Amino acid sequence: MVSLKINGKSVEVPEGSTILDAAGKLGVHIPTLCRFDLHDINLHNQGASCRVCMVEVAGRRNLAPACATPVMEGMDVKTHTPKVINARRVVVELILSNHPKTCLTCPKNTNCELQALAAELSIGNIGFSGKTTQHKIDYSSPAYVRDMNKCVLCRRCETMCTQVQTVNALSGLNRGFTTTVGPAFNMPIAESTCVSCGQCVAICPTAALSEVNNVGKVWDAIRNPDKFVIVQTAPAVRAALGEAFGLPAGVPVTGKMAAALRMFGFDKVYDTDFAADLTIMEEASEFIHRLKHGGRLPILTSCCPGWVKFFEHQFSDMLDVPSTCKSPQQMFGAIAKTWLAKELKVDPAKMVVVSVMPCIAKKYEAGRAEMAPGGVPDVDIVLTTRELAKMIREAGINFAQLDDEGFDDPMGESTGAGVIFGASGGVLEAALRTAYEWITGKTLDKVDFMDLRGMSGIKEATIDVAGTPVSVAVASGLGNARQLLEAIRAGEKQYHVIEVMACPGGCIDGGGQPYHKGHVDVLLKRMEALYTEDKTKVLRKSHENPFIKKLYAEFLGEPHSELAHKLLHTSYVKRPRM
């Protein structure tokens, strides 16, 4: 332990702690901007580049950044002297002097960390003016917008992209006043190896990175009397949406969400969980087929569009490994525009499928050519959880006070297996519940696979399936996925099934979710919400979903039938590594 003094008060902290840690222990608040630490996913952004957290340390000739200065025995720190306050104010005024002051219309208004910092320091007047950086706004991605004029060079996105996700699409560019962050040669992000996982968007302190806003498109569709507009909501959305309305993290708001969507005027309100059950039917069959017929193992899940694009870039020699199943979002759209349209007697050409996702890569996925057979997209418009929250606010709905409502049949029905898709390990757990019963012909009583749950980046287990040990692994976060895949490529590891989610912890931590602002406990509570909902369901295995049974009986025939193949499966594209 190291003992030091902060503002005259003594405190003891473990060796290696920073001044910021020590101040936190004493309840002394030092403002920060660039710093971002998500220990559980190995994200440490301690570049100490913004210089907001400067403090005075006795005996040091200049000020010290509290976030990156290790404590030393006997250190004497002052956090709010007039000198410090002046320096901090000058630094923030400098940042503001090169920031578009368009808060009123900014997507991050009221959610911006720079705005909050300016308020905290009571910046009333910006003492400096001069040239501002003029970067072209990058609208090339269908998932997110890069407005580098709003960037404060905290470099969180770069750290996330390189250290955690190992996508390496972002790095520092140029120098001096024109320094920015972007893909090599500052090419449009859509032409880079970016997979749109959105983890950069999730932790950007300003609106330099923000999702493509599709709210207007959805209102337009609903307002159009010629359109039949239906909506699906992904499992992870319900676990986080409440946070946007002041509800504690981990309170599932499934019923309120369905009620709000119906109030908007959607013609039908459905659940992606239904399609998650459908995915299991196809994926479990594919696995069993490969297992029994000596096919390529391991089989990799393919629900996550960020992960799909990642392996297309980074493991293009292994494109035969992933399952060919489309993701639940896309399966939903494909079934809605065929079977459902027939059931409801709606012209598929008039049907608009909207999905609400915790993810921005889903916006990209819906636009992939493979996802629009015959030029008709499975899914028309994708919203994130954050955009849904904006719509609810715009519609004047008192969300917390809403009475619960259910989803519409048939595509609103789901099992517990569909619900847990939203947490890392959930897809694999759901698949095992079904595959076990199909392989063994016996009922699986213990449906909870605890080894596969939680925030760990890589989880492994071996499951005894009728005497055959089936070894499985789960990776969340693309850096962890890379580690697993490289081990497989090198022949160091063998598995039967691997689930990969691009976002650390799975969809509950998706790039489209309400901002967690660095609080990992929020993510754990969201996970918990999904497993609780699973537990309360009567049906917890996908193949038991009565409407799934109906779908196969009346329309698809059986898993992997020719029609199922046409509608529910896809193919992959070789993409460049750089």
Q: How far is the CB of 114 from other proteins (least distance, A)?
A: 12
If binding is defined by CB under 8 A, does position 404 make contact with other proteins? no
Is 312 a residue of the active site? no
Is 78 a residue of the active site? no
If binding is defined by CB under 8 A, does position 131 make contact with other proteins? yes
Q: For 351-466, where are the E strands, in sequence order?
A: 351-357, 381-384, 458-465
Is 362 a residue of the active site? yes
How many Å apart are CA 74 and CA 353, to the nearest integer?
A: 63
Kindly list the distances between the CA atom of residue 31 and the CA atoms of 34, 62, 80, 169, 204, in Å, as whole numbers in the listed order. Answer: 10, 18, 10, 30, 17
If binding is defined by CB under 8 A, does position 94 make contact with other proteins? yes
Q: How far is the CB of 63 from other proteins (least distance, A)?
A: 5
Judge whether 309 and 327 are in contact, CB under 8 Å.
Answer: no
Judge whether 481 and 313 are in contact, CB under 8 Å.
Answer: no
The residue from 2, 26, 68, 539 that contacts other proteins (CB under 8 A) is 68
Q: How far is the CB of 91 from other proteins (least distance, A)?
A: 5
Phi/psi for 469 (5° steps) reads: -75, 120
If binding is defined by CB under 8 A, does position 48 make contact with other proteins? yes
The residue from 21, 37, 40, 46 that contacts other proteins (CB under 8 A) is 46
Is 67 a residue of the active site? no
Q: How far is the CB of 98 from other proteins (least distance, A)?
A: 5
Name the 3-class secondary structure at 201.
helix
Q: What residues have CB less than 8 Å from 242, skipping those under 6 apart?
A: 248, 249, 251, 252, 253, 256, 399, 400
If binding is defined by CB under 8 A, does position 121 make contact with other proteins? no
Cβ closer to other proteins: 72 or 400?
Answer: 72
If binding is defined by CB under 8 A, does position 86 make contact with other proteins? yes
Q: How many residues comprise the chain?
A: 578
Cβ closer to other proteins: 48 or 236?
Answer: 48
The residue from 118, 153, 361, 382 that contacts other proteins (CB under 8 A) is 153
158-173: buried (b, 16+ CB within 10 Å) or exposed (e) per residue?
bbbbbebbbbbbbeeb
If binding is defined by CB under 8 A, does position 238 make contact with other proteins? no
Catalytic pick from 158, 283, 312, 533? 283
Q: How far is the CB of 129 from other proteins (least distance, A)?
A: 8
Judge whether 541 and 437 are in contact, CB under 8 Å.
Answer: yes
Is 303 a residue of the active site? yes
Is 503 a residue of the active site? no
Vertex 201, ends 119 and 55: CA angle to 5°?
40
Cβ closer to other proteins: 114 or 389?
Answer: 114
Catalytic pick from 309, 337, 362, 459? 362
The residue from 62, 122, 398, 571 that contacts other proteins (CB under 8 A) is 62
If binding is defined by CB under 8 A, does position 95 make contact with other proteins? yes
88-96, 189-197, 352-360, 487-495 -> range binding other proteins (CB under 8 A): 88-96
Burial of 304 (0-12, 13-18, 19+ CB in 10 A): buried
47-55, 244-252, 274-282, 360-368 -> range binding other proteins (CB under 8 A): 47-55
If binding is defined by CB under 8 A, does position 74 make contact with other proteins? no
CA-nearest of 567, 115, 122, 111 to 378 is: 567
Long-range contacts of 337-345 (CB under 8 A, 24+ apart): 337/376, 337/378, 338/555, 338/567, 339/551, 339/554, 339/555, 339/556, 340/230, 340/410, 340/411, 343/410, 344/228, 344/268
Vertex 542, ends 563 and 387: CA angle to 5°?
85
Q: What is the per-residue binding string for other proteins in 161-190, x denoting contact by CB under 8 A?
A: ----------xx-xxxxxx-----------
Evaluated on CA atoms 95, 174, 160, 110, the torsion sign reads positive
Q: How many residues bind other proteins (CB under 8 A)?
A: 38
Name the 3-class secondary structure at 271.
strand
Which strands sit side by side in the sheet containing 2-6, from one edge to the other? 9-13, 2-6, 76-78, 54-57, 64-65
If binding is defined by CB under 8 A, does position 81 make contact with other proteins? no
83-91, 401-409, 424-432, 558-566 -> range binding other proteins (CB under 8 A): 83-91
Cβ closer to other proteins: 53 or 556?
Answer: 53
Position of tokens 């320096």?
A: 87
Q: How far is the CB of 62 from other proteins (least distance, A)?
A: 5
Cβ closer to other proteins: 173 or 263?
Answer: 173
Q: How far is the CB of 132 from other proteins (least distance, A)?
A: 10
If binding is defined by CB under 8 A, does position 51 make contact with other proteins? yes
Catalytic pick from 323, 327, 424, 456? 323
How many Å apart are CA 131 and CA 287, to the nearest integer?
A: 59
Point out the residues that are catalytic.
283, 286, 303, 323, 362, 365, 370, 507
User: Which residues of this protein are in contact with other proteins, per CB under 8 A?
Assistant: 46-52, 54, 62-63, 65, 68-70, 83, 86-87, 90-91, 94-95, 97-98, 127-128, 130-131, 152-153, 155, 171-172, 174-179
